[in-house]
Amino acid sequence: MVGKRRSPQQRSVALGTTGHGLDRRGRLRPVTIDLNELRPQLAALKLPPLPQALPSPVTDAHTHLDMVTERSGLTVEQVVAAAAAVGVTRLVQVGCDEASSIWAEQFAAAQPSVVANVALHPNEVGRYPERVEQGLATIERLAQAGDHVRGIGETGLDYYRTTDPADQARQKDAFAAHIELAAAHDLTLVIHDRDAHDDVLDVLSGSATPARVVMHCFSGDADFARRCLERGYWLSFPGTVTFKNNESLRQALAVTPAERMLVETDAPFLTPAPERGKTNASYLIPHTVRFMAEQLGWELDRTCRQLQANAEAAFGGPWGDDVLVPAGSRASQA
């Protein structure tokens, strides 16, 4: 999805889960969030309540914190802290255009629990073809910013929003350029594929081979899942896996080996049941994780550990230093 850049807001509250934010000049600024204040604030903003915390930490493999902040009325620090409070201790922040990729890199540089993915979204490429050349130059610069930038994405093809062959050709060219960047800089390639399964695999076959490839917001059936898995890709499952009418996605989950599945929000979009239709944020991923555990017939704790190990493997190793304190720990009892 494509959104506008937004700077983190300045408000913060006392006590509780601790995180780090950026001030207006991009400097690291310690903040504290009081969960006892956050809970009524979620209600006041008509946002879903905090679900029960997960027994073991997981990573939200794909989120747009800037857009969540814009839609929810929460500060970016509150969004990160709310996630940590329910066991979502690591986030992958994804840029969609030049400005949001710059923001993702800066925020990840300051926030140890967050890593950045940077790219020009295929819809962005279609909408602003004149910006692609400069945008790609920026993405290449950001790709080399340091260990906090772990992926090139989201890139790929989106035929849902355009059927124009010239538009689709431009998307393919930009996608190929992103693949080259991921391979050249040993970053994870994070793919957006909407109604373009065959062409996505075609472009991938004709390009360099990145070491790690994630199918973000996987939307195929079991057959397409197998084709991606044969190539060694990770499949990242969003909240749509919980939707009643999405049996084909559950069949895709069923054929995915344990070590190849990821979980993501794509927040602020695709909110899982039972909060479907409301604004999504990383703190709601426990609903999806619990649903996946049930589907798979796994213990919840095992599911969390597997998903966490997979996120580390898919994004080039662990990150963060447990700055953020999960719920039930000393800080939230203060």
Residue 229 CB neighbour total at 10 angstroms: 18
The alpha-helical segments, DSSP class H, found in the chain are 35-44, 65-72, 76-85, 98-110, 122-127, 132-143, 165-184, 197-205, 222-230, 247-254, 285-296, 300-314, 330-333
**Is 66 or 167 the residue whose CB approaches Zn ion more closely?**
66
**What is the smallest separation between the CB atom of 295 and Zn ion, expressed in angstroms?**
23
**What is the smallest separation between the CB atom of 119 and Zn ion, expressed in angstroms?**
10
**What is the smallest separation between the CB atom of 1 and Zn ion, expressed in angstroms?**
5
Count residues near Zn ion (CB under 5 A): 1
DSSP code of residue 267 = B
Stretch that binds Zn ion, among 142-150, 236-244, 252-260, 262-270 (CB under 5 A): 262-270
∠ CA 203-208-211, rounded to 5°: 110
Residue number closest to Zn ion, CB atom: 266
The single residue listed with the structure tokens 């080996």 is 257
On whether the CB atoms of residues 189 and 152 are closer than 8 A, the answer is yes
Stretch that binds Zn ion, among 204-212, 234-242, 250-258, 259-267 (CB under 5 A): 259-267
Residue 60 makes contact with Zn ion by CB under 5 A: no
**Is 105 or 266 the residue whose CB approaches Zn ion more closely?**
266
**Is 167 or 266 the residue whose CB approaches Zn ion more closely?**
266
**What is the smallest separation between the CB atom of 94 and Zn ion, expressed in angstroms?**
5
Q: Is the dihedral of CA 24, 59, 33, 29 positive or negative?
A: negative
Q: Mark residues 175-214: x for contact with Zn ion by CB under 5 A, - for none.
A: ----------------------------------------
CA nearest to 88, candidates 257, 276, 263? 263
Stretch that binds Zn ion, among 137-145, 203-211, 266-274, 295-303 (CB under 5 A): 266-274
On whether the CB atoms of residues 238 and 208 are closer than 8 A, the answer is no
**Is 77 or 266 the residue whose CB approaches Zn ion more closely?**
266
Stretch that binds Zn ion, among 4-12, 128-136, 207-215, 258-266 (CB under 5 A): 258-266
On whether the CB atoms of residues 89 and 326 are closer than 8 A, the answer is yes
**Is 34 or 266 the residue whose CB approaches Zn ion more closely?**
266
On whether the CB atoms of residues 24 and 7 are closer than 8 A, the answer is yes
**Is 121 or 172 the residue whose CB approaches Zn ion more closely?**
121
On whether the CB atoms of residues 55 and 88 are closer than 8 A, the answer is no
- CA 231 from chain centre, in angstroms, equals 22
Stretch that binds Zn ion, among 15-23, 35-43, 260-268, 285-293 (CB under 5 A): 260-268
Residue 124 makes contact with Zn ion by CB under 5 A: no
**Is 38 or 104 the residue whose CB approaches Zn ion more closely?**
104
CA distance 268 to 275: 12
**What is the smallest separation between the CB atom of 314 and Zn ion, expressed in angstroms?**
15
Q: Is the dihedral of CA 52, 219, 79, 310 positive or negative?
A: positive
Residue 266 makes contact with Zn ion by CB under 5 A: yes
Stretch that binds Zn ion, among 52-60, 109-117, 263-271, 292-300 (CB under 5 A): 263-271
**Is 60 or 266 the residue whose CB approaches Zn ion more closely?**
266
Enumerate binding residues for Zn ion (CB under 5 A): 266
